[in-house]
Amino acid sequence: MSSRKGQRDAARVVREQLARERRRRRTIWVSAAAVVVLVIAGVAGWAIWSSQRSDTFTTPPGANADGTGIVTGGGPVTVDVYEDFLCPACNQFEQSSGATLTQLASENKAKVVYHPVAYLNRFSTTEYSSRSSAASGCAAAGGKFREYASALFAKQPPEGSAGLDNDELIDIGVGVGLDRGSFAGCVKDGTYRTWTEHVTDEASRSNVTGTPTILVNGQPLEDRSPQGLSAAVAAAGK
């Protein structure tokens, strides 16, 4: 009797072990299948996102070769200025050192490349960063990029607001000498929105994480005062 009971107990233990093994294998397969589904979903999502973004962009006149910024001047030293028209610190830099940048470019001491990025859309209810950047492309097409950019900063809306509407952006352009008809059409059509996306994406790929970012021959400018900017350009030109 005890022998048969022992055999039954042993058989039960084997069955339980086999059942546990089947459950373990089933869990592994289910987990693997879930991973595959997630991977497929991720690839599909990336493909959809990529297809929704334009592979082409319309570059305004005056842009550099890779279309990431508007060039002024032609000096031996390159100054890259990454700015967002909604960025208060960018406004401060423009007010303190904007004229110095213009002078360095006009005297051909520096080639100044302005990159109007749209990093701060989340701080506007109407994607003001993108709209103002695209409008600056329209101003570049009319030969008034610097004048327009300076005027945008002078009338910078507060973060968290709707920002200036398109009519206000157009009025600013007319105020700096742009033709209302062609400029208004450019702004309302969003002609340079794809360019704004390109400028912003390339800035991110270049590890520009905030605005303003000022590079003199690729090196970050620490002293952003007019004196510091002029000294950095002079040192880089030696």
Whether 54 shows a pLDDT value over 60: the answer reads: no
Q: Are 77 and 109 in contact (CB under 8 A)?
A: yes
Which two tokens mark 178?
A: 């742009």
Per cent of the chain over pLDDT 90 is 76
| Domain locations along the chain | 1-52, 70-236
More confident residue, 110 or 30: 110
Higher pLDDT, 53 or 211: 211
Higher confidence at residue 53 or residue 35?
53
Cα 216 to Cα 10, 90, 132, 205, 228: the distances in Å are 80, 17, 25, 18, 11
Q: What is the C-alpha separation between 109 and 21, in angstroms, rounded?
A: 76
Nearest residue to 87 via CA among 121, 49, 136? 121
Q: Cα torsion for 181, 183, 186, 190, to the nearest 10°?
A: -130
Query: In whole angstroms, what is the distance from residue 212 CA to residue 120 CA?
Result: 12
Nearest to 138 by CA among 94, 196, 93: 196
Tell me what pLDDT residue 201 has: 97
Residue 216's pLDDT band, with cuts at 50, 70 and 90, is very high
Residue 1 has pLDDT above 60, yes or no: no
Which residue carries 């398109």 as its tokens?
166
Query: Helical H runs in the chain?
Result: 2-52, 88-106, 128-141, 145-154, 166-175, 180-189, 193-205, 226-236
pLDDT of residue 23: 77
CA distances in angstroms from 107 to 32, 73, 100, listed in the order given: 65, 8, 10
The percentage of residues in the chain with a pLDDT greater than 70, rounded to a whole number, is 81
Contact 66, 59 (CB under 8 A): no
CATH architecture of 70-236: 3-Layer(aba) Sandwich (3.40)
Q: Which range has the worst mean pLDDT, 3-12, 106-115, 132-141, 205-214?
A: 3-12
Q: Which one, of 188, 212, 218, lies nearest residue 90 by Cα? A: 212
Q: What is the pLDDT of residues 184-209, one digit of tens each?
A: 999 999 999 999 999 999 999 999 99
Structural Rg of the chain based on CA atoms? 29
Average pLDDT over the chain reads 87
Question: Which amino acid would we find at residue 101?
Answer: L
- Residue 46 has what pLDDT? 32
